[in-house]
Amino acid sequence: MQKTATTPSKILDLTAAAFLLVAFLTGIAGALQTPTLSIFLADELKARPIMVGFFFTGSAIMGILVSQFLARHSDKQG
């Protein structure tokens, strides 16, 4: 079977579309989870507002640190 010149671009388009779909769904999940989590922490776990703030601040800082670590590792790998 002969491969045409358009075959790799179709695969690339499918891969890009799948990546964009996963990124979109992850963003939607995060947008729905964040407000619900603050209510859960306050109501079910009886966390004080300052502790909820510390939780979200720590979560954001850890997200930044982990993404920087992964980016540095990715850049070293090429």
Same domain, 38 and 19: yes
Same domain, 36 and 54: no
Number of folded domains that form the chain: 2
- Residues 11-61 have pLDDT tens digits of 778 999 999 999 999 999 999 999 999 999 999 999 999 999 999 999 999
CA distance 35 to 23: 19
Is 16 inside any structural domain?
yes
Same domain, 54 and 71: yes
Predicted confidence band of residue 9 (pLDDT cuts 50, 70, 90): confident
Is 15 inside any structural domain?
yes
Same domain, 18 and 33: yes
Could you list the residue range(s) of the whole structural domain that residue 39 is in? Answer: 8-47
